[in-house]
């Protein structure tokens, strides 16, 4: 599917922009405050821009994040510093606006290390990375797209490269940033703001997200949803014959409208097999409680956690770049992008906490 090309005079382009704004205004006034029916206008736009998501960029991101230079990206380590430099360089290249004076939100971890040569001068500090795109009509409302960039570092067993956990998620978010900024540059500015949050300290107990929700840089009551991405680059044993799947966790817990959006966007676009297995309250793995979305959920913010399952290389040095299934990663990123697009571009009201 190709992007609609507007080959016209400046007057024609202005007419198109005026017409699109009029359509958004009419929709925001006339459509009910439910997301029950997915509007094809927003899905069509999402599909068009989602086609620009590139395996090449996803590969480049995972390869860099899971390289020896990153030393396993342990919280407060030199590896974390290397990851910060890489991520912030990418955000600057995409001209993503920082949320604050710069992209960095520092926080106290509550622990330190004897490995002083591997740590910053303040070995009990770590750093979230935050940027955003300002919305055009309701800039005070925002969705948050998040993932953790830290991992387990280096031990006597070797480097824990963390290609899937969570190089896959961070590479995906960086690619989503690229496409949203590309769309914005072509006049497709989101209706509400989009915040991109890269957490540290997840492996130490969800520390970065805990700090953020306790010290938010955006009002929590104006945060309509959190999309969290953690480990979407591999397949688990339950889906060896069904790679076109993804686990969806938590979307039904806070506000059923988000659950409807997740389902209906998928049905209207990628048609993946959405596996809700881990929503079961009796799930022994308790995955709903084990990634950064949970700290948002505790504040009453609707969340959805995208995940492709545990595998034998989970939390081992064998979680490496060459084992990432990039074709599967690509289609999962497209689905997440479509969902984020719908939430941020759709003018419907009444989504959060009503």
Helix %, strand %, coil % of the chain (to 5): 45, 20, 40
Instruction: Look at residue 258 and tell me if it is in a domain.
Output: yes
How many helices and strands (H and E) does the chain possess? 9, 11
- Radius of gyration, CA atoms only, the chain: 20
Here the CATH number for the domain that contains residue 86 is 3.40.630.10
Instruction: Look at residue 2 and tell me if it is in a domain.
Output: no
Instruction: Look at residue 5 and tell me if it is in a domain.
Output: no
b/e map of 47-71 (b: 16 or more CB within 10 Å)?
Answer: bbbbeebeeebbbebbebbbbeebb
Q: What does the pLDDT read at residue 10?
A: 36
Rounded to two decimals, the pTM is 0.88
Residues spanned by the domain of 83: 10-345
SS3 label, residue 312: coil
Beta bridge mates, 121:
none
Q: What does the pLDDT read at residue 240?
A: 87
Q: What does the pLDDT read at residue 112?
A: 61
Q: What does the pLDDT read at residue 221?
A: 96
Q: Which residues, 6 or more positions from 186, have their beta carbon under 8 angstroms from its beta carbon?
A: none
Backbone angles phi, psi at 128, to 5 degrees: -85, 155
Two structure tokens written together for 128:
């979230």
- β-strands 138-148, 154-155 pairing: unpaired
Alpha carbons 219 and 254: distance in angstroms, whole number:
18
37: which DSSP letter? S
Instruction: Look at residue 4 and tell me if it is in a domain.
Output: no
Instruction: Look at residue 16 and tell me if it is in a domain.
Output: yes
Instruction: Look at residue 267 and tell me if it is in a domain.
Output: yes
Rounded average pLDDT per 10-residue block, the chain, 354 residues: 33 42 41 51 92 98 98 94 98 97 93 49 80 96 98 96 98 98 96 98 97 98 97 96 94 94 95 97 96 98 98 98 98 98 81 50
Alpha carbons 354 and 260: distance in angstroms, whole number:
15
Instruction: Look at residue 23 and tell me if it is in a domain.
Output: yes
Instruction: Look at residue 149 and tell me if it is in a domain.
Output: yes
Alpha carbons 142 and 132: distance in angstroms, whole number:
9
Alpha carbons 310 and 238: distance in angstroms, whole number:
10
The tally of domains found in the chain comes to: 1
Beta bridge mates, 192:
138
Q: Considering only the C-alpha atoms of the chain, give the largest distance between any 2 of them, rounded to a whole number of Å.
A: 66
């Amino acid at each position: 599917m190709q992007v609609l090309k507007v080959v016209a005079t400046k007057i024609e382009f202005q007419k198109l922009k005026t017409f699109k704004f009029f359509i958004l205004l009419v929709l925001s006034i006339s459509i009910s405050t439910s997301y029950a029916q997915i509007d094809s206008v927003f899905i069509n736009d999402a599909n068009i821009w989602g086609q620009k998501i590139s395996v090449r960029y996803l590969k480049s991101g995972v390869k860099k994040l899971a390289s020896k230079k990153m030393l396993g990206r342990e919280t407060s380590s030199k590896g974390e510093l290397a990851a910060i430099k890489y991520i912030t360089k990418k955000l600057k290249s995409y001209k993503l606006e920082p949320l604050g004076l710069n992209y960095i939100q520092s926080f106290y971890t509550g622990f330190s290390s004897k490995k002083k040569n591997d740590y910053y001068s303040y070995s009990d500090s770590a750093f979230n990375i935050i940027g955003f795109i300002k919305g055009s009509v309701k800039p005070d409302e925002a969705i948050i797209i998040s993932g953790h960039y830290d991992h387990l570092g280096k031990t006597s067993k070797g480097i824990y490269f963390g290609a899937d956990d969570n190089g896959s998620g961070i590479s995906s978010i960086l690619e989503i940033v690229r496409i949203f900024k590309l769309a914005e540059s072509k006049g497709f500015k989101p209706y509400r703001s989009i915040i991109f949050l890269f957490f540290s300290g997840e492996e130490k107990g969800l520390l970065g997200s805990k700090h953020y929700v306790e010290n938010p840089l955006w009002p929590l009551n104006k945060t309509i949803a959190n999309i969290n991405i953690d480990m979407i680059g591999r397949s688990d044993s339950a889906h060896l014959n069904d790679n076109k799947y993804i686990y969806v966790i938590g979307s039904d817990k806070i506000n059923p409208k988000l659950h409807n959006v997740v389902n209906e966007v998928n049905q209207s676009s990628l048609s993946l097999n959405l596996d809700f297995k881990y929503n079961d309250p009796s799930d022994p793995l308790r995955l709903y409680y084990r990634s950064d979305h949970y700290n948002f959920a505790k504040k009453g913010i609707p969340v959805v956690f995208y995940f492709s399952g545990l595998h034998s290389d989970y939390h081992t040095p064998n979680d490496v770049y060459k084992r990432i299934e990039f074709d599967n990663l690509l289609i999962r990123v497209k689905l997440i992008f479509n969902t984020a697009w719908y939430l941020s571009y759709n003018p419907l009201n009444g989504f959060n906490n009503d």
